[in-house]
Amino acid sequence: MKAPARQAKEPDPLQLLKTMLLIRRFEEKASQQYGLRKISGFLHLYIGEEAVATGAIAAADLNRDYVVAAYRDHGHALAVGMDPKPLMAELFAKSTGCSRGKGGSMHFFDADRHFLGGNGIVGAQIPVATGVGLKLKYLDEDGVVLCFFGDGAIHQGAFHESLNLARLWNLPVVYICENNQYGMGTDFRRVSSITDYSKMAGSYDLPGSQVDGMDVLAVHQAVSEAIGRARREALPSLLEIKTYRYVGHSISDPATYRSKEELQQHKQQDPILILKNHMQEEHTLSEDDFKKLDAEAKAAVQEAVAFAESSPEPDLSTLYEDVLV
């Protein structure tokens, strides 16, 4: 039997703000370091989308819950509490990176924190996350899986196959579509026959809803409810969280497929600003507090760069390690 359900976690706005700031500053720093050629390859930034991973993962209890993400995974890694140092070191391809310099930007993992990546194949993480749900059910644990994927990924057959099985077997998985409006250069409306993705839940007899992904408290609330359903009733859910990425798909994408106006409009809905304003209205945050938090985030990220810089390259012999046990 499942353990008696613990209380859903109340959101801690200060902690949410810290996490979002850390993500924002980490991403900005990564972008800068890419420009300095310290980082290469794909670099998919999460700027603008911070509230989604932050709010959702704050609703989870990572002693028992799991997080599975796609390649745009820096925000999720930081939100599960990974230290920015091994993350930046991973981007720098150093031996101290969380994946020993073998994974890079798309492949952050932290087995101890129940963070299972970091997957570069669009949609391929959805069945994997569902399998984690199976293990929870199989071992009669009271954990839940948060499975993140993009608006582009939802059309993959893997989505359909997974949700049917999750409902059929009643696996505790919360499917979170991070609808940042674009899959690479493609407006999600150009590749979808419907625009309200939460409706797809109907094909699997699941609850589905749309959530404002620029409001971290709304995200926290919606995901808490879904986690509750999953934990107590083993009922999976589908959430479509509407968000927006401020930068290109990857660092090499100039994002000319959208207008400046559109971007500006969304920036007005900045998730950090929204929370900050909310806290100021509630008198729980002063401008000085904010500046201090931001400075802390910047300092942490700067330290991460220093750590990454000074870390050694992986030894050539590691090329042949980690292939098999």
Partner 1 sequence: MPTISYREALRQAMDEEMARDERVLLIGEEVAQYNGAYKVSRGLWDKYGDRRVRDTPITEGGFAGIGIGAAMTGLRPIVEFMTFNFSIQALDQIINNAAKMRYMSGGQFTLPIVFRGPNGPAAYLSSQHSQALAALFTHCPGLKVVHPATPYDAKGLLKSAIRDDNPVIFMEGELMYAWEGDVPEEEYTLPLGQADLKRTGQDVSIITFGKPLQTVTEAAARLEAEGIAAEIVDLRTLRPLDQATIRQSVQKTNRCVVVDESWPMCSVGSHVAWLVSNQCFDLLDAPVELVSGEDVPMPYNHTLELAALPSVEKVVQAVKAVLYLK
Ligand X SMILES: Cc1ncc(C[n+]2csc(CCOP(=O)(O)OP(=O)(O)O)c2C)c(N)n1
* Neighbour-count burial of 145, counting CB atoms closer than 10 A to its CB (0-12 exposed, 13-18 middle, 19+ buried): buried
Phi and psi torsions of 59, nearest 5°: -80, -10
CA–CA distances in Å: residue 15 to residues 37, 44, 74, 312: 32, 24, 17, 33
Rounded Cα–Cα distance for residues 76 and 82 (Å): 9
When CB distances are held under 5 to 8 angstroms depending on the partner's kind, the choice from Mg ion, a copy of itself, partner 1, none that residue 194 binds is a copy of itself
Q: Which positions from 60 through 119 interact with partner 1, judged by CB under 8 A? A: 66, 68, 90, 93-94, 97-104, 106-107, 109-111, 116-119
Structure tokens at 107: 């492949």
Interface pick for partner 1 out of 184, 273, 295, 299 (rule CB under 8 A)? 184
200 binds a copy of itself (CB under 8 A): yes
Q: Which is nearer to ligand X, 225 or 253 (CB)?
A: 253
322 binds partner 1 (CB under 8 A): yes
CA 194 to chain centre: 24
206 binds a copy of itself (CB under 8 A): yes
When CB distances are held under 5 to 8 angstroms depending on the partner's kind, the choice from Mg ion, ligand X, a copy of itself, none that residue 72 binds is ligand X
Pairing of strands 173-179, 145-150: parallel
Q: At what angle do helices 125-138 and 157-168 cross, to 10 degrees?
A: 10
When CB distances are held under 5 to 8 angstroms depending on the partner's kind, the choice from ligand X, partner 1, Mg ion, none that residue 135 binds is partner 1
Rounded Cα–Cα distance for residues 119 and 71 (Å): 5
75 binds Mg ion (CB under 5 A): no
Rounded Cα–Cα distance for residues 87 and 108 (Å): 7
Q: Which is nearer to a copy of itself, 76 or 167 (CB)?
A: 167
| Count of residues interacting with a copy of itself (CB under 8 A) | 22
Q: Which positions from 124 through 143 interact with ligand X, judged by CB under 6 A? A: none
Whole-number minimum distance, CB 184 to partner 1, in Å? 6
258 binds partner 1 (CB under 8 A): no
Whole-number minimum distance, CB 198 to partner 1, in Å? 18
Whole-number minimum distance, CB 103 to partner 1, in Å? 4
CA–CA distances in Å: residue 307 to residues 79, 227, 311: 20, 36, 6
104 binds ligand X (CB under 6 A): no
Q: Which positions from 134 through 163 interact with Mg ion, judged by CB under 5 A? A: 150-151
182 binds ligand X (CB under 6 A): yes
Residues with Cβ within 8 Å of residue 152, at least 6 apart in sequence: 122, 182, 183, 184, 186, 188, 191
Whole-number minimum distance, CB 242 to partner 1, in Å? 19
Q: Which is nearer to partner 1, 10 or 112 (CB)?
A: 112
Among 65, 78, 6, 16, smallest CA distance to 219 is for 16
Rounded Cα–Cα distance for residues 67 and 61 (Å): 10
Q: Under the rule (CB under 8 A), what is the footprint of a copy of itself? A: 155-161, 163-164, 167-168, 191-194, 199-200, 202-206
